[in-house]
Amino acid sequence: MNRRILSFTVATVSLFGTLFVAVEWAKPAPRLLWNASASAPIGLYRIDADAAPRVGDLVVIDPPPALAGFLSARGYLPRGVPLLKRVAAIPGALVCRSGTFVTVDGAGAARALARDRANRSLPVWTGCRTVGRGEIFLLNAAPDSLDGRYFGPLPAAGLIGTAHPLFTRSKAAAPLRRRGGDTSDDSANGKREREK
């Protein structure tokens, strides 16, 4: 009897050990993301890891270590939590920041703030640069979004996938609404709902 229990225990431990190693080795990417930041519509998103991001798409991206440290130290975003941002420019586009104005290929794209809500100064980059191969430039519509207006282009190596809204709200107090899974912004969705 003890021999059977021992054999069963060894087999069970071996199976769980093998499964643990397989999961750790495979590093499965997240398939769902809950966004709690008001810089993009709050709600649940499906992540498509296989889609190549295009300008206008919402993407989920891990910030590079230095940026992750800054975001965590300031209390903006805990380490290990990815960003949800909209693609404003891909390799080959010219992005510029002059003072508080940010342009993409010569067109006004965003305006940066000098200070955050806690009255702390925000990062500043200046000049123009072409988004390089292996980079992506991200901007959300929210004027206080921490994105490319403060950090410039990010390494695309951190890209997890494109994000498709499943259940989001257009305003903080609004109820969650089922979305079609596209990446159009919430203001367009709200307009379509009012037209119905």
Tokens of 165: 């809204």
**pLDDT score at 173:** 79
At 88, give phi and psi (nearest 5°).
Answer: -105, -25
pTM for the whole structure: 0.76
Are residue 68 and residue 12 in the same domain, yes or no? no
Residue-range definition of the domain harbouring residue 25: 1-29
**What is the Cα–Cα distance from 14 to 132, expressed in whole angstroms?**
47
pLDDT given at position 23 = 52
106 and 16 within one domain? no
| Tens-place pLDDT, residues 110-130 | 999 999 999 999 999 999 999
131-174 pLDDT, tens per residue? 999 999 999 999 999 999 999 999 999 999 999 999 998 777 78
Residues 35 and 7 in one domain: no
Identify whether residues 9 and 64 lie together within a single domain.
no
Residue with tokens 């991200």: 138
Residue 118: predicted pLDDT: 95
Task: Residue 175: give its domain's CATH number.
Answer: 2.10.109.10
